Structure 1
Amino acid sequence: MNQNTPPSSCDLRITSEVRQRVLTTAQLKDRGVSPAQAAERCRTGGSWQQPLPGVFVLHPGPLSGRERLRSALLYAGRPPASGRRGVPAQPAGTEDPGYGEAMITGLAALALHGFAAAPPAVSLDRVDVLVPRNRRLRSVRYVRLVRGSRLPRPEWLDGTPVAPVARALADAVVGLADAHTVRRLLTEAVRGGHCEPAVVVGELNRAKVLDRPQVVNAVDSLLAEGRALAEERLYDMVRTHGLPEPLWNVDLRLPGGPHLGAVDAYWPEEAVAVELDTRSPRHSRLDDDRRQEEHEAEWSAYAARREHLERLGVTVVHLTPRKLRDTREQQAAVVRTALMAAADREPAAYVMILPR
């Protein structure tokens, strides 16, 4: 055979590489296989199969989990996106232009992220694939297209583009009616360190599912879980990095005056307070404008309280759960610096310290 002669369909055999076993019509054509030849191979008793429109698997047996996922991505990503503008950059060695901007989301994505509460991806009857809102495709067979106006940057897991956990959670919850399953998934997201509660609630808010009965109680538990986890990280930071033991969870008040606010840790001799920011988007039936007004009012009240404490000579260190998770040593250094700087400041006003 001439070296430049394209291979025939008979030259394409099953390999151990899933990308060579699952191909689109265009990819087969590039390999010298016409649509008519591909269709002939997929007839009853043939050696190939066509699980989705425009996607071929080069063997007749059941699809493996990775073959189902690749088939779904190739279907949602077609036509091949080579050179198309707006496709996000992909890590070297993982790019597959046939996927375009499509990524696995929902329960299948959570399974790929390692969630014990999510069924194995291979056992799912449906695979959710996140695509741009303007994609002119429809859900078909085992593929459900989830459309979004602003797509997140995918995480690449074993060569598969997967939606980040918070987005995958929200897309999964949209299709779940069982409150127990919803609670387990949300709890695992926080306990497993995948993401912070505020990020999850923000995505659930975007998906407009916060007022569903199976979600409301789960979100309340999620926020309580996140608060407890952040407090545990704060305790661990103080003790692991040798900081003086503070007074935990106290209220500050002026003698005979107003309540100054609650703080998570307070060092009275140095007049240094630590406050955890575990605020989350409001989960209510209010419209977006009212919800934004509530958020801004809450932030204004927090800022006013902090300024009042600072005027009284109390240093307030503001920590977020994410900082305590990802940069705990740096946050300990910030608190230690504030404690050491107390000797150079004017004495703080006397404040009453009450248990919370």
Structure 2
Amino acid sequence: DQALALGISDDAIRHRISREGRWQRVLPGLYATFRGELSAQDRCRAAVLYAGADAQLTGPTALRQFRVRYLPQDDGSVHVLVAHATSRQDCGFVAFTRTTRLPRPWWRDGLPWTPVARAAVETCRDMRELRAVRALMAEVVQRKLAGVRQLEHELAAGESAGSALPRRALEDVGRGCRSAPECELRDLLRTSRFLPEPLWNATVLDDDGRFVGVPDGWWPAIRLALEVNSREHHLYGDSWERTMDRQARFAAAGILVIPLFPGRIRRDGPALLREIESAYLRLQPTAGLHDPGAVTRAGPRVEPPGS
């Protein structure tokens, strides 16, 4: 339509997209006025133009704007959220998700994008492995791209199809787990016949009110902490050296830390659970003696604006 409005005839368009011409056909009715590979931005712009009014980029396409790491393998698709009544069908690299609940988009580089919480839920609905869904949900929350309440709202408001894994993952994240290995550790601890659920990622202070750390799992009454140690796990906002420093602070505060590795949680869970149970029983306070424990203070949940 733009080409015709500029006075370019159908014959001229056909010539320009021929071998001798300088244009290329991108999608039905859409042409690039250059030869060569389209950039990611070009593809997104073409997808929105093809989809029509009210379309917005969603799913993994939107999450890549924030460099979210734990996404499905990129198959080249551009994911677009459109109104349910849209007559357009998937075509080429454009993949449609239809909805009766179009959110208010946010804009970047002249393109409309769905809010992060919506994009994350749309992505997770198409994933088939719980561990991958947990990793994505945990990353989005840990990096404060979206809050737990926002994700819960999107899940509750959407269709039930494809929601089982996201709901389970979000229940873990809502409890405080901040990585897929922590979620797997929670699964393991819940198989115990007597262990209570620890506090997850709670702020721990010593008896004088000084900051000690934020262990992955924490039983304050017996001063027992669990730490999942992996470079991948501590990719965001932490480092291996700081992990070691934190464990030294735990030791100085009289807190026993059990270091855990993701591979062992998956590979040798029953034996690992027995070790945790043994430590828990050994640290139980003697009857009649006061156990001061350590102060635990849960941090506030952060909800980023505009999602």
Same fold (TM over 0.5): yes
Q: Relative contact order, CA 8 A, sep 6+: which one is greater?
A: 2
| Letter matched to residue 113 of structure 1 | F
User: 1: distance between equivalents of 2:10 and 2:65?
Assistant: 33
- Picking from 84, 87, 106, the partner of 1:133 is 84
Gaps of 5+ in 2: 179-198, 212-219, 222-298
Counting aligned pairs with the same residue, the percent is: 29
Amino acid at match of 2:61: A
Q: Write the letter of the residue equivalent to 1:106.
A: G
Partners in 2 of 1:51 and 1:229 — Cα distance?
Answer: 49
Task: Name 1:110's counterpart in structure 2.
Answer: 63
Aligned 8 A contact 1:204 1:210 in 2: no
Correspondence list, 1:1-356, <5 A = 26-77=1-52, 100-118=53-71, 124-205=75-156, 206-209=158-161, 212=164, 214-225=165-176, 232=203, 321-322=301-302
Q: Deviations over 1:95-154 (max 9, x none)?
A: xxxxx211100001000133132379xx54211101111111111111011111121111
Give the Cα separation in 2 of the matches to 1:199 and 1:210: 18
The verdict on how the C-alpha distance between 1:225 and 1:45 changes in structure 2, with shifts beyond 3 A counting, is: farther
With structure 1 as the length reference, what TM-score do the two structures score? 0.49
Following superposition, the deviation at residue 30 of structure 1 comes to 2.3
Aligned residues: 198
Q: Counterpart amino acid of 2:131?
A: H
Greater than 6 Å deviation, 4+ residue runs: 226-230
Structure 1 residues 36, 320: closer, same or farther in 2, change over 3 A?
farther
In 2: Cα distance, 1:177 partner to 1:119 partner: 10
Is the 8 Å Cα contact of residues 72 and 127 (structure 1) preserved in structure 2? Answer: yes
Question: What displacement does 1:229 show?
Answer: 8.3
Structure 2: which amino acid aligns with 1:207? E
CA contact (8 A) 2:176 2:200 kept: yes
* Alpha-carbon separation, structure 1, partners of 2:50 and 2:27: 7
Please, which runs of 5 or more residues in structure 1 have no aligned partner? 1-25, 78-99, 241-248, 251-318, 327-356
Q: What secondary structure does 2:63 align onto?
A: helix
Deviation, structure 1 residue 230: 8.9
| Alignment partners' CA distance in 1, 2:108 and 2:3 | 26
Output the CA distance in 2 between the equivalents of 1:239 and 1:45: 74
1:262 alignment counterpart: none
Question: TM (normalized to structure 2)?
Answer: 0.56
Deviation at 1:39, TM superposition (A): 2.5
- 1:154–1:162: 8 Å Cα contact kept in structure 2? yes
SS at match of 2:103: coil
Tell which structure's C-alpha radius of gyration is larger: 1
Q: Distance in 2 between matches of 1:320 and 1:209?
A: 32
1 CA distance for matches of 2:40 and 2:88?
A: 23
